[in-house]
Amino acid sequence: MSIKQNLLDIKSSIPEHITLVAVSKTKPVSDLMEAYNAGHRIFGENKIQEMVEKHQQMPKDIHWHMIGHVQRNKVKYMAEFVSLIHGVDSLKLLKEINKQALKHDRIINCLLQIKIAEEDSKFGMSAEDASTLLSSKEFLELNNVSIKGLMGMSTFTANMTQVEREFKFLKTTFDKLQTDYNQLVTISMGMSGDYKLAIECGSTMIRVGSNIFGARHYQ
């Protein structure tokens, strides 16, 4: 199966309002170009250095999404071009993103990462943390970042009942926050194995890698 065919199959199987982020981490530029030439423009990477290198080599109308954990000292490398940062999990990180965005005279769109996984819970904020952040005076002074919504990573498990519960928790958290912060529009949840379930649970943005590019081989 070709990358182009995989993309077409996924796009035809999801509602039109769902944004598909093609997760291209570890894949060579030639694979990304195959997706590009099939008309795809939104790519997700989880390492800043890798995203910077691919950005340099590829056409400039691509929207680059940072979907991985972000180290504050590396924000500066992507600040000029990144179009959405999914994994914002602290005010401290947001301040650094704001500072770097200001240097480039732009506003960087971000999602707050909420900890939804009942198990493997490494990163992310609680719903309360997110609410506190959005209402803080310090946040209101950050004019070069814009919070567009929430992102969540479910537990890595074959137990779909659990994954569904975690997705529903993110949707509920989004709905509660959205009543006070109506700039929130995006719910980033769902990957290759569970994006259909995620969409049923209210996802508006799915991050799909292996179903498009094939399995990843880490060395």
Residue in 35, 153, 163, 201 binding ligand PLP, rule: CB under 6 A = 153
Of 22-51, which residues contact ligand PLP (CB under 6 A)? 23, 25, 46
Taking the C-alpha atoms of residue 45 and residue 133, their distance in angstroms, rounded to an integer, is: 26
Of 55-114, which residues contact ligand PLP (CB under 6 A)? 67-68
Do 147 and 134 form a contact (C-beta atoms < 8 A)?
yes
Taking the C-alpha atoms of residue 219 and residue 214, their distance in angstroms, rounded to an integer, is: 16
The closest of 147, 143, 144, 152 to 170, measured between CA atoms, is 152
Element (H, E) at 63: strand 63-66
Q: Please compute, for residue 85, the number of CA atoms within 13 A of its CA located in the half-sphere on the CB side.
A: 33
When CB distances to ligand PLP are compared, the closest residue is 209
Per-residue contact flags (x/-) with ligand PLP for residues 166 to 205, judged by CB under 6 A: -------------------------xxx------------
Both tokens assigned to 99: 């500072």
Q: Closest distance between ligand PLP and the C-beta of residue 163, in Å?
A: 12
Q: Closest distance between ligand PLP and the C-beta of residue 67, in Å?
A: 4
Residues that bind ligand PLP (rule: CB under 6 A) add up to a total of 14
Q: Closest distance between ligand PLP and the C-beta of residue 145, in Å?
A: 20
> Interface with ligand PLP includes 117 (CB under 6 A)?
no
Q: Closest distance between ligand PLP and the C-beta of residue 129, in Å?
A: 19
> Interface with ligand PLP includes 157 (CB under 6 A)?
no
The closest of 203, 212, 211 to 19, measured between CA atoms, is 203
Q: Is 50 exposed, middle or buried (0-12, 13-18, 19+ CB in 10 A)?
A: middle
Q: Which is nearer to ligand PLP, 193 or 202 (CB)?
A: 193
Q: Which is nearer to ligand PLP, 142 or 167 (CB)?
A: 167
Sign of CA dihedral 125, 126, 132, 135: positive
Q: Closest distance between ligand PLP and the C-beta of residue 108, in Å?
A: 18
Binding site for ligand PLP (CB under 6 A): 23, 25, 46, 67-68, 153, 191-193, 207-211
